[in-house]
Structure 1
Amino acid sequence: MKFPRDCGCVRAALLPPPLLLLLLVPRAAAAPLPPADSSGEAELDGAAARRAGLPNSLQQAQLLHARAAELQDEMCEKFTVCQNSMEMLLRNNLNLPKVTEEDGCLLAGFNEDKCLRKISSGLYTFQTYLKYIQETFTSEKQNVQSLCHSTELLAGTIRQMVINPEEVIIPDAATQESLHTKLKSIKAWTEKITIHLILRDFTSFMEKTVRAVRYLKNTRSFSV
C-alpha cells in the first residue's frame, strides 16, 4: 500500500520508538526566571553618583578655607580688628552657622547624610553674611564677591550628595532680606567687628567642612 509523499504518518512510523515517544509527549512550557533583585545595585549606583563630586568638593572647600583665612588676616592688618570686647555681644546677635557635635560631622559618631545636610544648609545661610561683607569691606569687594560665588557653588554641589536634597534648608527670600536689613542696621563703629566675626566663623566652618569632606573622600568613596 502506497501513501502520499506528504503524509506525516509514514515518517512517524519509520521513526525509532524512543523518538516517537518524544514526539507524542507534550512539551512543558519554560518556567519564567525570577526577576533579578536590583535594589542593591541601584543603591550602589545612587551612592556612587552622589559621591562623584567629592574630589572637586574637597578642592573647593580647601580653597574657600584659604581665601577666608586670608581675608581675615587682611581685616586684622588693615583695621587692626582681631579681638574686641564687643565680640561676644555681637556674636550672640549674629546667629552664625556652626558645625557642632550634634551635626554628625565629627569622626566619632560620623553621620554622612546628616553632616552633608548641615554643611550645605550652613553654606547657603552664609551667603547673606558674605554679601554684607562684600558691601561693607569695599577694599576687598572683588575677593569677597569671588568668595560668595564659590560658596554658593559648593553649597549646591554638596546638596546633590544628600540622599534627599529637599531636606537641605535654604533660606527663602524673605528670611535673607530680613537678615540683610538687620546687618545693614549695624552701627558704623561695630561694622568692622561684625565683618571680623563673620570671617572668623566662616573660616572655622570651612575648616570643619574640609575635614568632613576629606574623611568621606578617603573612607567612603566606594562604599554605601
Structure 2
Amino acid sequence: MKFPQGCDCDHDRNRAARRRPPALRAVLPLLLLLLLPRAAAAPLPAADSSGEAELEEVAGRRAALPDCVRLARLLHARATQLQEEMCEKFTVCENSMEMLVQNNLNLPKVTEEDGCLLTGFNEDKCLMKISSGLYTFQTYLKFVQETFTSEKQNIESLCYTTEHLAHTVKQMVINPNEVIIPDSATQESLRAKLKSDKIWIEKITTHLILRDFTSFMEKTVRAVRYLKNTRSFSV
C-alpha cells in the first residue's frame, strides 16, 4: 500500500521542520548585530549637534561683548572730543544762541521703548535698536566728515569704527535681517537735506549730529556693559 509511504513523507517533513529553528537561532544574532547599531545610533547625532550648535551660537554672541564695550567707549570718547573741537575752533557750543535753531534732523535716539534701560531691559530689542541706529548715523557722520574738514581723518576713523560696531551688534541679534540699514536712495536723500548754502547752518548741523551721536553712544555703552556683566542672552 502507498499510504504508509505518505505518512513517512510527512514524518520526514516534520523532522526537517524541527531542524530549521536551530539554524535560524544561529543566524538571528548576526542579523541583530547588523541592524541594531544603525537603529540605535541614528537619532543621537542630530540631538547632540543641535544642542552643541545652540551652545556655540550663545558663546559666540557673548564672546563679542567685550569688543562691543571697548568700541562703544572709544566712539563715545571720540565724539565728545570732536564736540569740544567744534566749540573751540568755531565757537559752536551747547550754550550758543545758534542752538535755538529748530532741530529737524530726526537723529536716532535710544528711548524707553527700545528696551535698553535697566528697567524693562529687552536684550534683543535693544541690540536691534543700537545696530539700526549706528547704521543710520553713518550717513550723518559722512556729512560731518565733509563739513568738519580740519578733523577729516578723525571723523573718517569714527565712521569706520561705527560701521564695525553696527555690524558686530547686528550679528548678536536673533534675526539680523530685521536690523534696519538705510539703502543708497535714502542716504542720498538725507545728504541732500543736510546740505545748506549757509556755512553757519552746516556748522550747527554738525554740532547737533555730534551731540546726539555722543548721547546715543553713552546709552550704548551702558547697554552693552550691562549685557557683558549679566550675560543674560536667551537661547
Equivalence map 1:108-119=2 (5 Å):
108-119=119-130
2:148 counterpart letter in structure 1? F
Q: CA deviation digits over 1:55-98, x for unaligned, max 9?
A: 1111111101000000011111222212245536532x100000
Using the TM superposition, give the Cα deviation of residue 190 of structure 1 relative to its aligned residue in structure 2, in angstroms.
Answer: 1.6
1:94 equivalent to 2:105? Answer yes
| Distance in 1 (alpha carbons) for counterparts of 2:234 and 2:177 | 23
Q: Structure 1, unaligned stretches of length 5 or more?
A: 1-19
2:120 counterpart letter in structure 1? G
In structure 1, the residue matched to 2:217 is 206
Equivalence map 1:147-158=2 (5 Å):
147-158=158-169
| Distance in 2 (alpha carbons) for counterparts of 1:108 and 1:147 | 30
Between Structure 1 and Structure 2, the one with more helix by share is: 2
2:161 counterpart letter in structure 1? S
- Over the aligned positions, Cα root-mean-square deviation in angstroms equals 2.4
| Distance in 2 (alpha carbons) for counterparts of 1:182 and 1:56 | 34
Change (3 A) 1:56 1:190: same
Question: Identity across aligned pairs (percent)?
Answer: 71
Equivalence map 1:73-88=2 (5 Å):
73-82=84-93, 83-87=95-99
| Distance in 1 (alpha carbons) for counterparts of 2:226 and 2:66 | 11
Using the TM superposition, give the Cα deviation of residue 108 of structure 1 relative to its aligned residue in structure 2, in angstroms.
Answer: 1.3
| Distance in 2 (alpha carbons) for counterparts of 1:209 and 1:57 | 9
| Distance in 2 (alpha carbons) for counterparts of 1:86 and 1:78 | 15
Using the TM superposition, give the Cα deviation of residue 164 of structure 1 relative to its aligned residue in structure 2, in angstroms.
Answer: 1.5
| Distance in 2 (alpha carbons) for counterparts of 1:108 and 1:40 | 31
Using the TM superposition, give the Cα deviation of residue 49 of structure 1 relative to its aligned residue in structure 2, in angstroms.
Answer: 1.8
Which of structures 1 and 2 has the bigger CA Rg? 2
Change (3 A) 1:186 1:153: farther
1:177 equivalent to 2:188? Answer yes
Q: CA deviation digits over 1:27-56, x for unaligned, max 9?
A: 483373372434444322212122321111
How many residues in Structure 1 have an aligned counterpart in Structure 2?
A: 204
Tell me, yes or no, if the aligned pair for 1:98 and 1:205 is still in contact at 8 Å: yes
Using the TM superposition, give the Cα deviation of residue 218 of structure 1 relative to its aligned residue in structure 2, in angstroms.
Answer: 1.3
Task: Give every structure 1 segment of 4 or more consecutive aligned residues whose post-TM-superposition deviation is greater than 4 Å.
Answer: 23-26
Using the TM superposition, give the Cα deviation of residue 166 of structure 1 relative to its aligned residue in structure 2, in angstroms.
Answer: 0.8
